[in-house]
Amino acid sequence: MTTLIIENAHGLDHDTPPGHPEQVARLKAVSEALSAPAFDTARRAAAGPALRADITQGHSEGYLDQIEDAIPASDRVALDADTYVSPGSWDAALRGVGGCIAAVDAVLDGHAKNAFVATRPPGHHAERDRAMGFCLLGNVAIAAKHALDRRGLSRVAVVDFDVHHGNGTQDILWDEPRALFVSSHQMPLYPGTGGPGERGATRNIRNVPLSPGSGGTEMRAVYEAQVFPFLRAFEPEMVLVSAGFDAHRDDPLANLNWTEEDFAWVTRGLCDLADELCGGRVVSTLEGGYDLSSLAASVAVHVTELMERHG
């Protein structure tokens, strides 16, 4: 088995205003990085759209109606100060969820060892009834619910190493005892949530804030002391990753100092645990990362580590 890369080309049709950090060029940079010869042995697939019944595993019917009604016939509309929709946004969002679900199915069915979903808009800030932080639909949270409710898994872990707290994933999984959500993130920083006291309805949430200005040394200590033990104790049957690369030292939206090797290190650690606990079942999905050069380089090392797990 090999790594599956699912690409959402319709993410190029999600238009944001000039100068917006969550821009079309992000997905182009990722696609270009993953077109290098080093990734030729990976399987490739295009993301198909999720069904409404899939999406309501994470969002209310009323919220879906609200977002669909907001999609303009031309130009773009602001849902809040940061989050926009354009004519192509709904199909892009549907295919983001669809790509994540397809990745879960491919790994569970043995068609791939692990998977990476290259998509935009990102998803981890989208709450059950609220779009925010560039995000419309909770890609990874819905994939977790799919693995549990549709595929019959008993325990799924979601690990979010985006520099911003995954408040949307936390909101959707708050009452889900079968899902462990672990988020490392800079604090203080947008969206202002993610304190250690936020534990979930069944103590299934673990937030591990990182101080502004800290780097890979501090991150590795926190993962070894907290994140990896949380995962090992939970014994997940699949690990889902919200892979944001905006903790990089060159990213303009935050103040952590990770390097590409730090992203490689955390990926190796998660894959090692997945090998130990659940047959290597890992599905990773793109979240943030707003410096194009560091985003491309960090995605490349992340997917390289996934591909090292063949067999």
Span 43-68, pLDDT tens digits: 999 999 999 999 999 999 999 999 99
Report pLDDT for 225: 98
Rounded to an integer, the average pLDDT of 151-161 is 98
- Give the pLDDT band (50/70/90) at residue 1: confident
Span 172-185, pLDDT tens digits: 999 999 999 999 99
Report pLDDT for 309: 85
Rounded to an integer, the average pLDDT of 153-175 is 98
Burial class of 13 by CB neighbour count within 10 A (0 to 12, 13 to 18, 19+): middle
Span 120-141, pLDDT tens digits: 999 999 999 999 999 999 999 9
- Give the pLDDT band (50/70/90) at residue 234: very high
Rg for the chain, CA atoms, rounded:
17
Higher pLDDT, 225 or 1: 225
* 299: helix, strand or coil: helix
Half-sphere exposure of 59 (CA within 13 A, CB side): 34
Report pLDDT for 200: 98
- Residue 125 is a catalytic residue: yes
On average, the pLDDT of the chain sits at 98
Residue among 155, 168, 89 at smallest CA distance from 124: 168
Continuous segment of H or E residues that includes residue 206: strand 205-210
Report pLDDT for 185: 98
pLDDT beyond 70 at 118: yes
Percentage of the residues of the chain whose pLDDT score is greater than 90: 99
Rounded to an integer, the average pLDDT of 209-235 is 98
Percentage of the residues of the chain whose pLDDT score is greater than 70: 99
* 78: helix, strand or coil: strand
Span 23-42, pLDDT tens digits: 999 999 999 999 999 999 99
Catalytic residue among 14, 125, 146, 185: 125
* Chain centre to alpha carbon of residue 223: 18
Report pLDDT for 311: 55
